[in-house]
């Protein structure tokens, strides 16, 4: 598949940058005219294609995206260390919108961590469920080991986020990791700096993002001014020293205010006006279309770090469920064999939380089913909030998410509500059936 994809893109000479997220192979091309979009759409295992200007996204599903990208890099002999530089150069292009660039960078920081969250989240579920039926489990040797593994991701999260943030913004990754560790170090509890009492971990990943980003700016400026003979010693020393003081005294309290505000807002909606939570699910698919949904990964990560769970993720996950229901409605009503085939291929992955094939292949092109998806998701999202279902991971969706929630049976009730709402709204609104 990798070789054929390179061929349809216009050959190796037409590829400027190559990367992947959980479900998509993301390619920046040099000449858009050389890309054979229709041929790519017909390729086996391709679930959908998004092509904007010189930015091509080929949806192949979870796991497959990483495999295909790795194979393409091997064929092209791309050095992955050069990709941050390529992304930086591409960021200066006029056709890129600043907020999309920010959200793409946030995604690049958090998406690589998602597999660890899923693995640890599943282990947490097994660990806590075992404790319910066997109260002495946590004191056993196996229980201690399992508990350590289950919550390991949360122990090192600031370090990983610091590393990825520095790498993404062109700094030295290990310096970012050290700053992440400093900000969460329990040894600083109660200490004061410029009359500011240090609270380890305050602001969570938001503080880490802010401080490490500023640290990369400082590091790059220092490298421009410090002689090469002293750069190896002075630049890391000054970066760590200055950002420890400024970070703990200024930026960590700022991150704490932002983090606490997000937590208070989500808590207010869930506990006081849960029916309004459906708005998040209502606008989620439009956010996916614009690429702005990546920003929610950081929000959900912060909520999980602060409270151990996020109420927001199960709500927004219902947008995908509403789309599954609407797509089933289209499947029943349409006479188009091509459309039926697209839905048949997209439904299984849609139920697993990967909505792009149905989004770009069914609901967006037909229009009204997209509206039905949004409304169905809003109904399901409101129900989910009213039932108080929370997720233990910051990113997942569909049926798999149900196994990592605090309300296992209730999640599937909400899922069923979103499915049926999307289905009946699609039937009610109708759509213009395409001709093969």
Distance CA 156, CA 258 (A): 21
When pLDDT is cut at 50, 70 and 90, the band that residue 98 belongs to is: low
Distance CA 209, CA 216 (A): 11
- Give the DSSP per-residue string, 178-230: HHHHHHH-GGGTT-EETTEEP-TTTTHHHHHHHHHHHHHHHHHHHHHHS-HHH
Indicate the domain borders of the chain: 2-96, 151-263, 275-429
Do residues 10 and 35 touch, judged by C-beta distance below 8 A?
yes
User: Quick one: tokens of 254?
Assistant: 């700022």
List the catalytic residue out of 21, 120, 374, 426: 21
Bridge partners, 58 (sequence order): 25, 49
Q: What is the pTM of this model?
A: 0.71
Do residues 427 and 330 touch, judged by C-beta distance below 8 A?
no
Residue 170, pLDDT above cutoff 80: yes
Tell me what pLDDT residue 406 has: 87
How far apart, in Å, are the Cα atoms of 299 and each of 122, 127, 184, 284? 21, 25, 18, 14
pLDDT tens-place string over residues 367-404: 999 999 999 999 999 999 999 999 988 888 888 888 88
Pick the range with the lowest mean pLDDT from 8-22, 283-297, 308-322: 283-297
Specify the 3-state DSSP secondary structure of 1: coil
Homologous superfamily assigned to 2-96: Glucose permease domain IIB (3.30.1360.60)
Do residues 331 and 397 touch, judged by C-beta distance below 8 A?
no
Distance CA 289, CA 223 (A): 39
Residues counted in the chain: 436
What are the phi and psi torsion angles at 48 (to 5°)?
175, 160
Q: Which residue has the tokens 């960078």?
A: 105
CA atoms within 13 A on the CB side of 401: 33
Tell me what pLDDT residue 216 has: 95
Do residues 124 and 143 touch, judged by C-beta distance below 8 A?
no
Residue 408 CB neighbours (<10 A):
13
Highest mean pLDDT among 19-23, 24-28, 102-106, 321-325: 321-325
Distance CA 158, CA 262 (A): 18
Tell me what pLDDT residue 31 has: 86
Residue 23 CB neighbours (<10 A):
23
The question of whether 120 is a catalytic residue gets the answer no
């Amino acid at each position: 598949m990798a070789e054929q994809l390179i061929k349809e893109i216009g050959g190796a000479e037409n590829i400027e940058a190559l990367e992947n997220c959980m479900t998509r192979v993301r390619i920046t091309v040099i000449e858009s005219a050389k890309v054979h979009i229709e041929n790519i759409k017909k390729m086996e295992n391709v679930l959908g294609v998004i092509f904007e200007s010189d930015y091509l996204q080929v949806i192949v599903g979870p796991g497959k995206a990483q495999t295909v990208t790795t194979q393409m890099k091997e064929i092209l002999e791309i050095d992955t260390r050069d990709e941050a530089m390529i992304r930086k150069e591409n960021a200066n292009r006029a056709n890129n919108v600043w907020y999309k660039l920010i959200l793409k960078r946030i995604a690049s920081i958090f998406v690589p961590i998602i597999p660890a969250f899923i693995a640890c989240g599943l282990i947490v579920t097994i660990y806590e469920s075992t404790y319910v039926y066997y109260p002495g489990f946590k004191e056993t040797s196996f229980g201690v080991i399992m508990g350590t593994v289950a919550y390991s991701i949360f122990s090192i999260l600031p370090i990983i986020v610091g590393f990825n943030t520095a790498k993404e913004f062109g700094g030295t990754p290990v310096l970012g990791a050290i700053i992440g560790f400093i900000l969460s170090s329990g040894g600083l509890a109660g200490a004061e700096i410029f009359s500011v009492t240090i609270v380890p971990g305050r602001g969570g990943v938001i503080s880490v993002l802010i401080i490490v980003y500023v640290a990369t700016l400082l590091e790059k400026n220092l490298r421009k001014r410090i002689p090469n003979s002293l750069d190896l010693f002075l630049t890391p020393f000054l970066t760590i020293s200055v950002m420890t003081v400024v970070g703990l005294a200024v930026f960590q309290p700022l991150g704490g205010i932002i983090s606490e505000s997000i937590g208070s807002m989500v808590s207010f909606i869930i506990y006081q006006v849960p029916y309004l939570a459906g708005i998040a699910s209502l606008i989620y698919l439009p956010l996916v279309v614009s690429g702005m949904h990546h920003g929610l990964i950081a929000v959900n990560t912060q909520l999980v770090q602060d409270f151990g769970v996020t109420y927001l993720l199960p709500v927004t996950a219902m947008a995908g469920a509403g789309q599954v229901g609407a797509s089933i409605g289209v499947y029943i009503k349409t006479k188009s064999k091509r459309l039926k085939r697209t839905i048949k291929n997209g439904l299984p992955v849609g139920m697993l939380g990967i909505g792009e094939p149905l989004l770009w292949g069914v609901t967006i092109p037909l229009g009204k089913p997209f509206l039905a998806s949004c409304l169905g998701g809003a109904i399901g999202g409101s129900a989910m909030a009213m039932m108080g279902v929370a997720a233990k991971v910051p990113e997942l969706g569909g049926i798999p998410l149900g196994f990592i929630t605090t309300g296992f049976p209730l999640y599937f009730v909400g899922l069923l509500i979103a499915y049926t709402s999307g289905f009946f709204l699609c039937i009610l609104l109708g759509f213009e059936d395409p001709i093969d």
